C-alpha cells in the first residue's frame, strides 16, 4: 500500500507529514526517514511541528501494524523530539475584536468558521467536520457524533444566537452535508494558510486555533460560569468532580451549559458591533 492510501484510510493528520513520501510503499519507510522528517522541522525552528510529525506518524504506523500492512512501526523507540510546555495563550478582548473584524472581511468558509470556533468553544477538528445533519436549528443544538468527539461519546452543544447567526450566513450546497467545505466532497483543510492570513490582517499577535477554545473557556469563567460547567461545555472529563461522585453524577448540566454559552455569545456579539 502506498503512503497516500494508508493516510486516507487511517484518517490521521499524517498527510502533510508524509507528503514527500506520498507515492512510496509504506513498507519501505524506515526509521531514518522518520528522523529526517523530524530533524528537518527542528532545523527550520518548528519544534511544535516536529512533535506533531512524531505523534501523527506513530498513530499511522500503529494502525498499519494492527491491520497487518507492516510488521513493525519505524516510529517505535523514537521519542518526541522536543518537550512542549502547556500553552496558556488567551486572547485579550481587543484581540478578539480585531480577530472578528478581520474574519468579517474574509470570504466563506473562514469568515464563519473561525468565529464559530470561538462561539461554540469546540475543537477545530470537530467544527471543521460539522455536518448540517448534526444541527437542529429549531432546538438550537449541534450534536457532535461519538466517532468525532475526543472522549468517544456524543456531545450536545447548545448553539447561542451568535453561532446561529454565523450558520445563517453559510451557503448550503446541493447534495452536500458539510457545513464548511471548498470542494463539496470533503470538509475544509489548509488551516495553517488561513491562520497566517488572519494573523496578517489583525492586530492579535501569535495564536493558534486551539487558543480560541481556551479564550472562550476563560471568557465564560470571567462571566461567573462555574468551572465544572465550563468543563461540560468543553466536553472534558471533569477534574472538579472526582471519585465516587464522578461515577454517579450523570447530570448533563444542559441548562447551565446553554446559559454559559448564551452569556459568551452575547459578549462576542457586543465586541462584534
Helices (H) and strands (E) in the chain, counts: 12, 3
CATH number at residue 185: 1.10.443.10
Q: Are residues 102 and 21 in the same domain?
A: no
The string of pLDDT tens digits covering residues 181-201 is 999 999 998 888 899 999 999
CB neighbours (10 Å) of residue 58? 19
User: Is 74 a member of any domain?
Assistant: no
Beta strands in the chain, from DSSP E residues, in sequence order: 135-136, 141-144, 155-158
Q: Are residues 20 and 131 in the same domain?
A: no
The parent domain of residue 254 ranges over 93-271
User: Is 71 a member of any domain?
Assistant: no
Looking at 23, 49, 66, which one is the last position of a domain? Answer: 66
User: Is 80 a member of any domain?
Assistant: no
The string of pLDDT tens digits covering residues 65-86 is 999 999 999 999 999 887 766 6
User: Is 248 a member of any domain?
Assistant: yes
Phi, psi of 82 (to 5 degrees): -140, 160
Instruction: Give me the pLDDT at residue 20, please.
Output: 58
What is the rounded CA–CA span in Å between residue 218 and residue 132?
28
**pLDDT at residue 127 above 90?**
yes
Instruction: Give me the pLDDT at residue 251, please.
Output: 62
User: Is 78 a member of any domain?
Assistant: no
Place of cell 481556551: 214
Looking at 13, 47, 66, which one is the last position of a domain? Answer: 66
Q: Are residues 251 and 190 in the same domain?
A: yes
What is the rounded CA–CA span in Å between residue 6 and residue 11?
8
User: Is 41 a member of any domain?
Assistant: yes
SS3 of residue 261 by DSSP = helix
Q: Are residues 112 and 239 in the same domain?
A: yes
**pLDDT at residue 110 above 90?**
yes
Q: Are residues 222 and 105 in the same domain?
A: yes
The string of pLDDT tens digits covering residues 203-236 is 998 899 999 999 999 999 999 999 999 999 999 8
Instruction: Give me the pLDDT at residue 138, please.
Output: 97
- To 10 degrees, what angle do helices 209-222 and 254-271 make? 110
> What is the C-alpha radius of gyration for the chain, rounded to an integer number of angstroms?
20
Task: Name the pLDDT band for 242 (thresholds 50, 70, 90).
Answer: very low
Give mean pLDDT, residues 236-260: 67
Instruction: Give me the pLDDT at residue 25, please.
Output: 85
CA dihedral defined by 11, 13, 19, 23, rounded to 10 degrees?
A: -20
Tell me if 61 sits within 8 A of 74, measured CB to CB. Answer: yes
Look at residues 113, 243, 247 and name the one whose alpha carbon lies nearest to residue 181. 113
Q: Are residues 102 and 216 in the same domain?
A: yes
Q: Are residues 169 and 217 in the same domain?
A: yes
DSSP secondary structure, 97-109, as one string:
HHHHHHHHTSPTT
268 against 243, higher pLDDT: 268
In eight-state DSSP terms, residue 113 is: H
The string of pLDDT tens digits covering residues 142-185 is 999 999 988 888 999 999 999 999 999 999 999 999 999 999 99
Q: Are residues 140 and 255 in the same domain?
A: yes
Q: Are residues 107 and 215 in the same domain?
A: yes
What is the rounded CA–CA span in Å between residue 101 and residue 201?
9
User: Is 87 a member of any domain?
Assistant: no
Q: Are residues 114 and 45 in the same domain?
A: no
What is the rounded CA–CA span in Å between residue 181 and residue 11?
17
Instruction: Give me the pLDDT at residue 192, please.
Output: 85
User: What domain count does the chain have?
Assistant: 2
The string of pLDDT tens digits covering residues 3-34 is 544 454 544 445 555 555 556 788 899 999 88
Give mean pLDDT, residues 100-111: 96
User: Is 82 a member of any domain?
Assistant: no
Q: Are residues 16 and 145 in the same domain?
A: no
Task: Name the pLDDT band for 245 (thresholds 50, 70, 90).
Answer: very low
Q: Are residues 62 and 100 in the same domain?
A: no
Amino acid at each position: 500500500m502506498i503512503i497516500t492510501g494508508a493516510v486516507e484510510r487511517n484518517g490521521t493528520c499524517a498527510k502533510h507529514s508524509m507528503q514527500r513520501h506520498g507515492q512510496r510503499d509504506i513498507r519501505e519507510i524506515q526509521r531514518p526517514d522518520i528522523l529526517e522528517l523530524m530533524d528537518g522541522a527542528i532545523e527550520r525552528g518548528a519544534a511544535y511541528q516536529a512533535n506533531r510529525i512524531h505523534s501523527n506518524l506513530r498513530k499511522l504506523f500503529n494502525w498499519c501494524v494492527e491491520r497487518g500492512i507492516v510488521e513493525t512501526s519505524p516510529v517505535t523507540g523514537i521519542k518526541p523530539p522536543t518537550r512542549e510546555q502547556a500553552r496558556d495563550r488567551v486572547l485579550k478582548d481587543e484581540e478578539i475584536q480585531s480577530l472578528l473584524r478581520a474574519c468579517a472581511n474574509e470570504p466563506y468558509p473562514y469568515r464563519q468558521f473561525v468565529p464559530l470556533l470561538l462561539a461554540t468553544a469546540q475543537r477545530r477538528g470537530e467544527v471543521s467536520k460539522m455536518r448540517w445533519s448534526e444541527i437542529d436549528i429549531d432546538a438550537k443544538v449541534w450534536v457532535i457524533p461519538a466517532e468525532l468527539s475526543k472522549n468517544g461519546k456524543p456531545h450536545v452543544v447548545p448553539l447561542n444566537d451568535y453561532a446561529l447567526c454565523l450558520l445563517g450566513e453559510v451557503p448550503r450546497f446541493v447534495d452536500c452535508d458539510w457545513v464548511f467545505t471548498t470542494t463539496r466532497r470533503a470538509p475544509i483543510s489548509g488551516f495553517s494558510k488561513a491562520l497566517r492570513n488572519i494573523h496578517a490582517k489583525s492586530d492579535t499577535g501569535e495564536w493558534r486555533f486551539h487558543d480560541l477554545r481556551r479564550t472562550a473557556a476563560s471568557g465564560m469563567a470571567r462571566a461567573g460560569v462555574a468551572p465544572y460547567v465550563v468543563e461540560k461545555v468543553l466536553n472534558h472529563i471533569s477534574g472538579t468532580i472526582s471519585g465516587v461522585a464522578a461515577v454517579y453524577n450523570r447530570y448533563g448540566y444542559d441548562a447551565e451549559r446553554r446559559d454559559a454559552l448564551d452569556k459568551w455569545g452575547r459578549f462576542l456579539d457586543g465586541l462584534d458591533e
